[in-house]
Structure 1
Amino acid sequence: MTRPHTTFSGPELCAKSAREVVALLRKGEVTSLDLIDVSLARMDQVEPQVNAVVTRCANRARGATVATDTLLAGLPLGIKDLNPVAGVRTTFGTIGMADHVPTASDPIVTRLEDRGGVVLGKTNTPEIGAGANTFNAVFGATRNPWNTAMNAAGSSGGAAVSLATGELWLSHGSDFGGSLRSPANYCGIVGLRPSPGIAGGSSAHLGFTNGGVDGPMARDVLDCALFLDAMAGYDPVWPISFPPPATPYLDIARQDAGPVRIAYASDLNGFAALTDEIDTVLRDALARMRLPHVTVEDHCPTLPRLDEAFRALRCLSFMGSYQATPENVTKHYKDTIKGNLADARAMTFDAYVQAERDRAQIYNTMATFFQTHDVLACPVNGLAPLPVEIEYPTEVAGRPMRDYIDWLQFAFLATVAGLPALSLPVGFTPSGMPVGLQLIGPPRGEARLLQVAHTLEQALNLPITCIDPIAG
């Protein structure tokens, strides 16, 4: 289906790209205060319909001192409600922290502010980020702007919706099992899960683990590259972080990509369930990408024990978080989180060691794959959004789902192998819901991945998402 008819009734500035707005800031044609005002006005317009930016910090933002010669030059942005912002209510979407106001910011927040970002609000997330449907007992559900009866995925659902509706120009996300890729897919925007160490961060208070990462979310590929530049770099508080590339990601993303070699794996060798509807949209998009310098073939490397490896890594993350969280918070956790903790407790050390062997094998397989291909393309999710009241699908394309993690299997590979992965909007379902294509790149290959994604984005020539919510 072609893109549904949409409108945008927000302030003109809100529809501009982050790059355009930063340029205006540097020229002195607008101020950060101007942008704060129009962003807040847009939130007033759409928040009753979508519930994406659940906590605003306007006074804090207006009081920020920002130099226009910094990378973001005073651009307002959103921070996911899993990352503390000093002096701003940060709930992690859980009742036990509903009134929590931290005194110190997460290092990624400090980095973004040092580089000219102005935090204007916290975006909604499922409870402690667990689940791919953004709802919690503190703030309720975030709704998909393309059809407000549908879910926006998760756990960075609020971030994705804030971008799609023009409330913010850039919005921070994080990803373990597709937590920024799935919302980007469902909302028609771009989300990049970087390689571990690129944007700092670590998962579950375990500084040397690399399952969970912070990452940029934006309306197009070049804005995503700009945001990654603002996040990237070494910081001694992050044990696995390392310096940024000599050439900014944005500069490389703008360069001619040259020959591009894409392998499309529709179901990862039968590993992940996929509806015909999604496969059709993606294959149509890939057909339009077949340019003289772009080759597309059906191919998937062998990926044994991918499910076991991912689940082991996730068990480690959940147990690390649980052990560092007081009982007066954990006692409120929803049943699905308690089930995750039970799985973690039941895991043996032998099983975890085997999972690390499996990860190494999968990584080596992918390293060989990237000797002959630039990206592995596959779905982000195997089905279109469901009604917001449904926590997760119990089946996909006739295949029963064992739990709420099963339907996210397309996300597992990048996480297990430590690869960068990007969700690129490429089309729409017959019912008018966005569909993204997941592009997985080589280890620390963000620059090339962004370059390829920008080339494909230009080939498809889809309008950038910035819409008024569509009532469902």
Structure 2
Amino acid sequence: MGELHDLTALEQARAVRRGEVSPRELVSHYLTRVDDVGAFVTTTPELALARAEELWPVPDHAGPLYGVPTGIKDLNLTAGVRTTFGSAAYADHVPDISDGVTLSVEAAGMVSLGKTNTPEFGSPCYTEPDVAPPAVTPWDRTRMAGGSSGGAAAAVAAGLVAVAPGSDGGGSIRIPASCCGLVGLKPTRGRVSGWPMYGEVTGLATAGSIARTVRDAAALLDVLAGRRPGDPAWAPPPEATFLAACERDPGRLRVARFVEPVIADATVDPECVRAWDDASALLVSLGHQVEDIAVPMPRAAVATFETCWAVLTALSAAPPGRETSLRPLTRWLSEQGRAVSGPEFALALGAMRRLAADCLTLLAPYDVVLTPTLAVPPLPVGALRDDDDPAADFAAQKAFTPWTSAWNVTGMPAVSLPLHWTADGLPVGVMLAARPAEEELLLALIAQVEVAAPWSARRPGGW
């Protein structure tokens, strides 16, 4: 069987169901692994071992990921476990309740090893919080893992867990997936419940999957997906399971593609263009029709998104007396958000929904749309962060990721796939998005792509 961490999440769960390995053995194995990539903010070895004991023997109803170790992003509430939201202002915060993502992971029989690293309130697209070391890509430990789910991606890419949930409000699953050579799947709006906080009023953010393989990502989406009583809106349920969708023939699809940034002043690295071009050729070789289109979202969308993003940041307030613990970027964005009046915010929400509707209408004739994930390969740690000039920090982030937030605005499911590596071994993702609620079609396609151009056998140094 080889090393346990060589197995995919689905293979680990099958080994558990066959009695070849126990959940405790899996947890114990992962607890011996060294985290030199800034994956975890808080580890919970005693809780993990106790939880693993409760899962043995395996019940008849055990699901596809039963017994598999994972980590919970430090933005997700975990009862009795320190949850910092990536902020020094919450360095000693311990919630009384768990949120829907945490409860779904537990209900599936998975075991959390701790809280995965995230930047302050999940806002930046790099993971360099003041409560933990930076999250780095194991392909080059001087370079960023991306953000905001950087800790989750670093953990999966370094073999510290096989699969992990993340969250994505502007690319925060897909960005670290690209930096770390992984599959990063952001589902459609309303697919995963925001219980119990329901604080994301813009509809931009959702939880999703980070994995080494398409099927692992699909299996975790099956764990996370589903409505809860009280959800304000929800996506229609799939015909079967998302994992089953990976076995379907996607048929001949019509693929739209564009490479021009939605943000005007971003420069696209030739490696990212090459990855996009190669992915286009691969799709054609698989029988799909690929067509060039104009950017389907106007530049006005950027300012509208920024208004909503600033207001969301302002809602993530520090506890009284700890405001000075917040990072300069958070304080700057919060100031921008507090300057927006109630009517201005309502107008921005309305404008964003109209922009989304126009974009979805333009893309309606196409089954999927292809772009690069990022404008450049993973950058050195600190390359984007600028505490002396938060405005420059924010501008650099936009130039780094000029496509991902478009699909948060539209609510479309989108995935970054690790289809390219640079000559010096850095991963470069490409992004595919599908119509709202069409994750099954998207999964059928990317499972086909994975068979044609497999990547999971690649291993970073130190694996």
TM-score by length of 1: 0.89
Alignment counterpart, residue 252 of structure 2, candidates 255, 259, 263: 259
Question: Residue 13 of structure 2 corresponds to which residue in structure 1?
Answer: 22
| Equivalent position amino acid for 2:251 in 1 | G
Please list every run of 5 or more consecutive structure 2 residues that lacks an aligned counterpart in the other structure: none
In structure 2, give the amino acid aligned to 1:20: E
Tell me the equivalent position of 2:153.
160
Alignment of 1:287 with 2:281, yes or no, is yes
In the other structure, the counterpart of 2:306 is 311
* Match among 123, 126, 129 for residue 119 of structure 2: 126
Q: For 1:292 and 1:126, how far apart are their aligned partners in 2?
A: 39
2:385, 2:393 within 8 Å by CA — same for their partners in 1? Answer: no
Deviation at 1:132, TM superposition (A): 1.4
Corresponding residue for 1:70? 62
Matched AA of 2:371: C
Is the counterpart of residue 33 in structure 1 residue 24 in structure 2? yes
1:386 matched residue in structure 2: 379
Q: CA deviation at 1:349?
A: 4.2
The structural deviation recorded for 1:392 is 4.3
Q: Choose from 345, 357, 376 the match for 1:352.
A: 345
Deviating more after overlay: 289-298 vs 350-359: 350-359
* 1:42-69 Cα shifts (integer Å, max 9, x gaps): 2x3xx1x312123221211222223543
Q: Note if 1:225 corresponds to 2:218.
A: yes
Kindly state the Cα deviation for residue 191 of structure 1 after the two structures are TM-superposed.
Answer: 0.8
Shift of 1:150: 0.9
Task: Point out the more displaced range, 25-34 or 179-188.
Answer: 25-34
CA distance in 2, matches of 1:334, 1:269: 28
Q: Per-residue deviation at 1:168?
A: 0.4
The equivalent position to 2:441 in structure 1, one of 441, 448, 452, is: 448
- Deviation digits for residues 119-143 of structure 1, max 9, x if unmatched? 1121111122121111111112122
Counterpart Cα distance in 1 of 2:415 and 2:210: 10
Quick one: distance in 1 between partners of 2:5 and 2:404?
31
Structure-2 residue corresponding to 1:4: none
Report deviation, 1:360: 2.9
C-alpha contact 2:195 2:231 (8 A) present in aligned 1: yes
Looking at structure 2, the residues matched to 457 and 268 of structure 1 have their Cα atoms a distance apart, in angstroms, of 26
Shift of 1:103: 2.7
1:67-121 Cα offsets, whole Å, 9 max, x none, are: 5433221211111111122222222222122122223212210111012111112
Residue 215 of structure 1 pairs with residue 208 of structure 2: yes
User: Could you tell me how far apart the structure 1 residues matched to 2:321 and 2:122 are?
Assistant: 18
CA–CA separation in structure 1 for the residues paired with 2:129 and 2:386: 18
Could you tell me how far 1:203 is from its partner in structure 2?
11
Indicate conservation of the 8 Å contact 1:50/1:469, yes or no.
no
Q: Distance in 1 between matches of 2:322 and 2:186?
A: 28
2:325 pairs with 1:332: yes
Aligned to 1:426: 419
Query: Aligned partners of 2:404 and 2:204: how far apart in 1?
Result: 12
Higher mean C-alpha deviation, range 444-453 or range 401-410? 401-410
1:179-230 CA-to-partner distances (Å, cap 9, x unmatched) read 1110000000011111222111279852554122111111111110000000
Counterpart of 2:148 in 1: which secondary structure?
coil
What displacement does 1:20 show?
Answer: 1.1
Q: Is the 8 A contact 1:52 1:158 kept in 2?
A: yes
Residue 275 of structure 1 pairs with residue 275 of structure 2 = no
Which segment is superposed worse, 275-284 or 104-113? 275-284
Q: Following superposition of structure 1 onto structure 2, how do residues 121-200 of structure 1 map, counting pairs within 5 Å? A: 121-200=114-193
Q: Which amino acid aligns with 1:166?
A: G
Letter in 2 for 1:119: S
438-447 or 273-282: which moved more? 273-282
Q: Which runs of 4+ in 1 moved over 6 A?
A: none
Equivalent residue number for residue 296 of structure 1 = 290
3-state SS, counterpart of residue 246 of structure 2: helix
Contact conserved, 2:200 with 2:312, CA < 8 A, in 1? Answer: no
What is the rounded CA distance, in whole Å, between the counterparts of 1:61 and 1:279 in structure 2?
43
Assess if the C-alpha contact under 8 Å between 1:261 and 1:375 holds in 2. Answer: yes
What is aligned with 1:79? 72
1:215 to 1:185, Cα distance in 2 relative to 1, 3 A: same
Q: 1:116 aligns with which of 109, 113, 127?
A: 109
Aligned residue in 2 for 1:365 = 358
| Distance change >3 Å, CA 465–CA 161, structure 1 → 2 | farther
- 1:82 is aligned with what amino acid? L
> For residue 104 of structure 1, what is the aligned residue in structure 2?
97
Q: Distance in 1 between matches of 2:73 and 2:305?
A: 23
1:54 alignment counterpart: 41
Task: Give the distance between the partners of 1:375 and 1:437, measured in 2 at CA.
Answer: 13
| RMSD value, Cα | 2.5
Question: SS in structure 2 opposite 1:182?
Answer: helix
SS of the counterpart of 1:450? helix
Q: TM-score, normalised by structure 2?
A: 0.90
